[in-house]
Amino acid sequence: MRLDLMIGLGIAMPALLAYLFTLSPCAYPGESGMLIAQYSGILPKLTPDFPIWHGLVRLA
């Protein structure tokens, strides 16, 4: 049982560190960043595409 915990932590910690060091501090520019800006009200909505983004922004 203890060996399983050590192996799990040995795998999880480098993965967590790699994730944290490569994490973007803000919305990454591109299509997803544009959609976030449009649905949060920073930019005007140009087209009614991607209704899932509207739902995700309302949840946040």
- pLDDT at position 56 over 90: no
Q: What is the per-residue pLDDT across 4-53, written as a single tens digit (0 to 9) for each? A: 999 999 999 999 999 999 887 776 788 777 877 887 788 887 766 767 76
CB-CB neighbours of 50 under 10 Å: 14
> What DSSP letter does each residue of 16-52 carry, written as one string?
HHHHHHH--SSPPTTHHHHHHHHHTTSS-------HH
Q: What is the pTM (predicted TM-score) of this model?
A: 0.45
Secondary structure of residue 54 in the 3-state scheme: helix
* The pLDDT value given to residue 25: 77
Q: Distance between CA 24 and CA 26 in Å, rounded?
A: 5
* The pLDDT value given to residue 13: 97
What is the residue extent of each domain of the chain? 25-60
* The pLDDT value given to residue 57: 72
Closest CA to 57 of 41, 28, 25, 30: 41
